[in-house]
Amino acid sequence: MKETMKLPADEIIQMYETMLHDLSYDLHERYSHLLTGLLHQMDQEGGSSKSALLLTHIIDDMRSKSNESTPLSLAKRGVVPAIRQFGKEIEHRFGVTVSLLTERESLSIDQRLLFRLIQQTILMIVENADTDAIDIHMEEDSVTFRFLSPHEQIDVDEKGFLCLIQKRTGMELKIEQRSGQWFWVYFKKRGNKDDFHCDR
């Protein structure tokens, strides 16, 4: 029996990100543009207003899905515009305001990994914290998420994501809660025994 080939994690990440970028590009730059051309043609030919409204909705939804998968600004302009764009999608989809209060591109890790870290953390907070606003501070060696939640406890690692991120980036997550205000802080060094960490 042949031994199963094992790919290094970096190659898998590269493949995954390339696939998501291609999907995002197709949705945003190819298919939505084709439908936009069809919409203009219908307008010139006096087409049905109901059909035009449906097409407009489909175009907007495709572009939204594109930005959720991989904002095209990530490759061109960096992680800050990508986070801002993703924050708009979260507000549109869930009604949760995401504010990037500092714009320093922090941490010496791959920009795609940094974006995925922030993207997935935002989603975990939205899904588990019952909050209506998330503030993000990006510093030179840390990223802080601040939000209000009525919960005394929040499951922060149901799918093992934070353990994976720690292994890939060498980061830790410190969690603090004071009077309903939560602080999730990712940082690049080992902390004390009370910090969230994973040895799996």
Q: What is the pLDDT of residue 126?
A: 93
Highest mean pLDDT among 12-26, 58-72, 184-198: 58-72
- Average pLDDT value for residue range 43-59: 78
What are the tens digits of pLDDT across the range 16-46? 677 777 777 787 777 787 888 878 877 777 7
- Predicted pLDDT at 117: 87
Q: Is the pLDDT of residue 104 over 70?
A: no
Strand order in the sheet with 181-187: 97-100, 133-138, 142-148, 181-187, 172-178
Q: State the angle between helix axes of 79-94 and 111-128 in degrees (0 to 180), rounded to the nearest 10.
A: 20
Encode pLDDT of 117-173 as tens digits.
898 899 999 999 999 999 999 888 889 999 999 998 888 777 777 777 777 777 888
pTM value surpassing 0.75: no
Say what angle helices 161-169 and 111-128 make with each other, to 10 degrees.
160
pLDDT above 70 as % of the chain: 82
